[in-house]
Amino acid sequence: MNLVCLLAILIICIGRSTEGASRPAVVNIGAVFAVSTINGGVSKIAIKAAEEDVNADPSILSGTKFSVSMHDSNYSGFLSIIGALNYMESDTVAIIGPQTSVMAHIVSHLANELHVPLLSFTALDPTLSSLQYPYFLQTAPNDQFQMNAIGDMVSYFGWKEVVALFTDDDQSRNGVTALGDKLAQKMHKISYKAVLPPDPTATRDQVKTELAKIQIMESRVIVLHTFSRTGLLVFDVAKELGMMESGYVWIATAWLSTVLDSTSPLPQKTKDSIEGALTLRPHTPDSKRKRAFISRWKKLSNGTRGLNPYALYAYDTVWIIAHAVNLLLDQGGTISFSNHASIPGYRRGIMNLSALSIFNGGKQLLENILQTNTTGLTGPLAFHSDRSLVNPSYDIINIIENGYQQIGYWSNNSGLSVVPPETAPNRSTSNQHLAAVVWPGGTTNKPRGWVFPNNGKQLIIGVPDRVSYRDFVSQQNGTDIAKGYCIDIFLAAIKLLPYAVPHRFELFGDGHKNPSYYELVSNIPSGKFDAAVGDIAIVANRTKIVDFTQPFIESGLVVVAPVRGSDARAWAFLKPFSPLMWGVTAAFFLIVGSVLWVLEHRLNDDFRGPPRKQIGTILWFSFSTMFFSHRENTVSFLGRMVLIIWLFIILIINSSYTASLTSMLTVQQLSSPITGIDTLISSFEPIGFQVGSFAENYLIEELNIPKSRLVPLGSPEEYANALKERTVAAVVDERPYIELFLSDNCMFSIRGPEFTKSGWGFAFPRDSPLAIDMSTAILTLSENGELQQIHDKWLSKKACASQTSDLESDQLQLQSFWGVFLIVGTACFIALVIHFSLAFRQYLRRSPEDDHHSDLEPPGHGSTSSGTTATPRLTFLSFIDEKKDQSKDNKSKRKREEIMRKSSNWHEKEDV
């Protein structure tokens, strides 16, 4: 505040007006840096090199000398202000610096009044906005982009929480605020902010105190945002405390990359302390000019400093100012200054401040700078409308043993990538990749990012003290020990975690009635419990205050109602088969009877006779086979084959019918006027619910059922009594409870489907990493079968036949018998084909004499002019209709022999 007051006094002091020529001989530029710092030292070298290059270039400034003078602030804010004032007394048109954001906030007020542009590539506080500080420009990416890169890295590796460790100054504080905003966008957060004294005043004890606090916390991802001296001290102490071992993640901002680039060689102790850390470096694309400057650097620095990106930004900043001044002069502007309008009334005091004046061309010079569009050592030089650089980007560095490796890049346009930003595709989730990382401790396995804190504290886990359905969770023999289905699952999951979780159960409830589960869950955010374990349904109002694990059992509200025996008994004998099954069976009886009649008609007298008799025979034979009581014998081979197959099919159908009918007559058929939640709502009858369950709120708030209709019930016995006595029409409760209830109460059944879908899970505080790890453990239990084993241990009981949500029909469908019908149909078809084929063959071989049923006369008797006797020939239908005589063939043969003999005798007599 003293500095701000001093600045306010300085601003209103008397100035003087100085008129310069249109093309002045010298243009004065100032630079304010702490030369003893890494960035200050390399910036001084780069700025001097840029000054020489500008003056050596005849195409710029047309002979006007470009003069840059350096002021060493020596880490002092007061000296920074004095340096800025000295430059403004000497008609300086622009100032490079100040080096720190703290000084930038102060000196920018002076720049606003005197219209002198300030350009800084190290004061990168994201809150140095163009609205409040219009004459301040950042010529390097500000910390907003650096924090965006870190946020994307945290999201990429899947860490939910980080710890921010930073120095207590404007730039670091505001940078961490920007990081918190970025993490919040990606559903992550900063779990703790550890603050250190401003650089370089932090002591070893102060650093150790903060790191000791971090060491006992859950999060193991630490973002270190400070400066080189404090940062290296933090890593040294962290190494001493064992915080550079496996399991930790350290992400340092760009200060660490400047140490790597500009300090050579690093002490071995420093190398060891930073091994495994990640850091960012401003990305500067490769170019011919950059390579040429790198080759000059050793000569420029005399080997005292290594080159880092901020030296390149310093070089480019000089050229930005030079081009803007040159454009100003080309536009007819002048380097002139005038008195401040309010200064005359403030001429008292002993300080000589009358030299302060307003730069008349400052506004135009600022506009020229903002219109910069060229290419420098750092790549394209241009400003967005918000005065940020175009497409800022960073290299991502992983420090390894005796060096470092580059694992990827980040840019504002493409996000994370393993290829440089200038060739990377547009930002897309599928394109976000980084190379393998060597983490602290030398491991290449990605750290989990958090551990259960080793602070000796046990988790206090709330457990409902149930008075009913104690198989799920209950108190053991009056002690504080909990047992049950839910407890066994929790303990089994805990054993699968890769770390110990000390805990103790604490019962919640009065032991006289089931507790309110919403109150149980509400004690987690209040801090009374660290978690809740039990038969806790995952419902909307609870997920708003806690995080749940993966469900370990499915649940949902169902309706259970009393049942009564069915009164429809008169036609019960028809129920075993579906109507279609009855129809197809009857059709096959007729088909098989008809086929057997065809096969037996020519051979078997039982299948011959008048048409009326034959129809009766077909019908009688068809249906008498159902009881194996047919009297007619089968004499043909094909008929016997078909009959054997059909009798086997009849045996299958009879057995199935008998079994189904027996089941239907012996098992009680269930029915109820309540068919589901819809009929229950419209019935206006009382509804029972379990005390403590979320069913009460759901029925009232979601289904708009009046509270007067709801009857609280506390135990399965109360369920049964209320349903038997008809004090409630039905009970609404969660399926696991109802299934356990119905295993002992077969007079009731579930009516209709579930009308909510949920599950039971364990509750933890919001954003707790333990909830995620427990979810993974529950999935493992499900996959290896242990979850089912625990279920069978506690909940496996014989279910009643009434435990079906809908009374499914026991009728036998045609689909169950289409195979046997196909067999008999195929057999009939094959038999008919063979039968008619043989009959047709016999018909073709039948002689004309066989068609004549009287004695044959010798030739010449009744002969035609052609010498043959005209006899009618049988049709095929008549042929197959006549009875086949087994002796007929022999008789025909004898007749032919007799005719031949008579014919021979007749010819002998004629010759005589």
Q: Tell me, what's the pLDDT at 581?
A: 78
Give residue for tokens 């530029």. 29
If we measure between CA atoms, which residue out of 200, 180, 190, 187 comes closest to residue 158?
A: 187
Stronger pLDDT, 903 or 513, i.e. the higher one: 513
Stronger pLDDT, 843 or 392, i.e. the higher one: 392
* DSSP run (H or E) holding 166: strand 161-167
**731 vs 734: CA distance, rounded Å:** 10
**338 vs 116: CA distance, rounded Å:** 13
Residues 6+ apart with CB under 8 A from 510: 465
State yes or no: pLDDT of 33 exceeds 80.
yes
Least confident of 14-18, 322-326, 664-668: 14-18
Q: Tell me, what's the pLDDT at 718?
A: 93
Least confident of 96-110, 497-511, 518-532, 881-895: 881-895
**406-413: average pLDDT:** 92
DSSP code of 276? T
Give residue for tokens 């002198």. 116
State yes or no: pLDDT of 458 exceeds 90.
no
Percent of the chain with pLDDT over 90: 46
Stronger pLDDT, 402 or 171, i.e. the higher one: 171
State yes or no: pLDDT of 898 exceeds 80.
no
**11-28: average pLDDT:** 55
pLDDT band at 16 (very low <50, low <70, confident <90, very high): very low
Q: Tell me, what's the pLDDT at 798?
A: 54
* DSSP run (H or E) holding 119: strand 118-120
Q: Tell me, what's the pLDDT at 258?
A: 94
Stronger pLDDT, 568 or 455, i.e. the higher one: 455
Stronger pLDDT, 897 or 397, i.e. the higher one: 397
Q: Tell me, what's the pLDDT at 615?
A: 74
Q: Tell me, what's the pLDDT at 858?
A: 41
Q: Tell me, what's the pLDDT at 396?
A: 96
Q: Give just the sign of the alpha carbon dihedral 785, 787, 790, 792.
A: negative
Is 26-141+288-341+352-381's fold the same as 143-284+392-431's? yes
pLDDT band at 304 (very low <50, low <70, confident <90, very high): confident
* DSSP run (H or E) holding 161: strand 161-167
Q: Tell me, what's the pLDDT at 13?
A: 39
**395-423: average pLDDT:** 91
In this structure, CATH architecture of domain 143-284+392-431: 3-Layer(aba) Sandwich (3.40)
Least confident of 2-6, 23-27, 280-284, 716-720: 2-6
Q: Which residues of 436-463 are buried (b: 16+ CB within 10 A; e: fewer)?
A: ebbbbeeeeeebbbbbbeeeeeebbbbb
pLDDT band at 746 (very low <50, low <70, confident <90, very high): confident
Q: Tell me, what's the pLDDT at 528?
A: 93
State yes or no: pLDDT of 77 exceeds 60.
yes
Q: Tell me, what's the pLDDT at 848?
A: 58
Give pLDDT tens digits for 152-189.
Answer: 999 999 898 999 999 999 899 999 999 999 999 998 99
**350-361: average pLDDT:** 67
State yes or no: pLDDT of 40 exceeds 50.
yes
| Average pLDDT of every residue of the chain | 82
Q: Tell me, what's the pLDDT at 355?
A: 58
If we measure between CA atoms, which residue out of 315, 322, 327, 325 comes closest to residue 379?
A: 315
| Topology of domain 459-555+766-795, CATH | D-Maltodextrin-Binding Protein; domain 2 (3.40.190)
State yes or no: pLDDT of 693 exceeds 80.
yes
State yes or no: pLDDT of 729 exceeds 80.
yes
Stronger pLDDT, 485 or 347, i.e. the higher one: 485
pLDDT band at 671 (very low <50, low <70, confident <90, very high): low
> How many C-beta atoms surround the C-beta of residue 659 within 10 A?
12
State yes or no: pLDDT of 104 exceeds 90.
no
Least confident of 17-31, 743-757, 825-839: 17-31
State yes or no: pLDDT of 51 exceeds 70.
yes
Stronger pLDDT, 405 or 886, i.e. the higher one: 405
State yes or no: pLDDT of 430 exceeds 50.
yes
Indicate the burial class of 245 (C-beta count within 10 angstroms; 0-12, 13-18, 19 or more). Answer: middle
Q: Residues 537, 759: contact at Cβ < 8 Å?
A: yes
State yes or no: pLDDT of 585 exceeds 70.
yes
pLDDT band at 233 (very low <50, low <70, confident <90, very high): very high
The CATH number of the structural domain formed by 26-141+288-341+352-381 is 3.40.50.2300
pLDDT band at 19 (very low <50, low <70, confident <90, very high): very low
Q: Residues 71, 47: contact at Cβ < 8 Å?
A: no
pLDDT band at 252 (very low <50, low <70, confident <90, very high): very high
Tally of CA atoms within 13 A in the half-sphere of 637 that contains its CB: 4
State yes or no: pLDDT of 52 exceeds 90.
yes
**264-286: average pLDDT:** 93
> How many C-beta atoms surround the C-beta of residue 365 within 10 A?
24
**882-897: average pLDDT:** 53
Q: Tell me, what's the pLDDT at 711?
A: 94
Which of 278-287, 339-348, 470-479, 647-656 is the most confident on average? 278-287
**254 vs 410: CA distance, rounded Å:** 13
State yes or no: pLDDT of 61 exceeds 70.
yes
Least confident of 60-69, 377-386, 657-666: 657-666
**483 vs 474: CA distance, rounded Å:** 6
Q: Tell me, what's the pLDDT at 8?
A: 41
* DSSP run (H or E) holding 493: helix 485-496
Stronger pLDDT, 77 or 419, i.e. the higher one: 419
Q: Tell me, what's the pLDDT at 812?
A: 67
Which of 132-141, 813-822, 841-850 is the most confident on average? 132-141
Q: Tell me, what's the pLDDT at 532?
A: 96
**752-762: average pLDDT:** 91
Q: Residues 553, 759: contact at Cβ < 8 Å?
A: yes
pLDDT band at 895 (very low <50, low <70, confident <90, very high): low
State yes or no: pLDDT of 836 exceeds 90.
no
**504-533: average pLDDT:** 92
Phi-psi sector, 897: left (phi>0), alpha (psi -120 to 50), beta: alpha
Strands 687-690 and 730-734 turn out to be: parallel
Q: Residues 210, 196: contact at Cβ < 8 Å?
A: yes
Q: Tell me, what's the pLDDT at 343?
A: 52
Q: Tell me, what's the pLDDT at 454?
A: 61
Q: Tell me, what's the pLDDT at 274?
A: 95
**74-100: average pLDDT:** 79
At the fourth CATH level, the homologous superfamily of domain 560-565+671-757 is Periplasmic binding protein-like II (3.40.190.10)
The angle formed by the CA atoms of residues 326, 331 and 332, to the nearest 5 degrees, is: 100
Where do the domains of the chain lie? 26-141+288-341+352-381, 143-284+392-431, 459-555+766-795, 560-565+671-757, 572-666
Least confident of 340-354, 740-754, 838-852: 340-354
Least confident of 5-9, 283-287, 699-703: 5-9
**653 vs 664: CA distance, rounded Å:** 16
Q: Residues 246, 441: contact at Cβ < 8 Å?
A: yes
Stronger pLDDT, 873 or 466, i.e. the higher one: 466
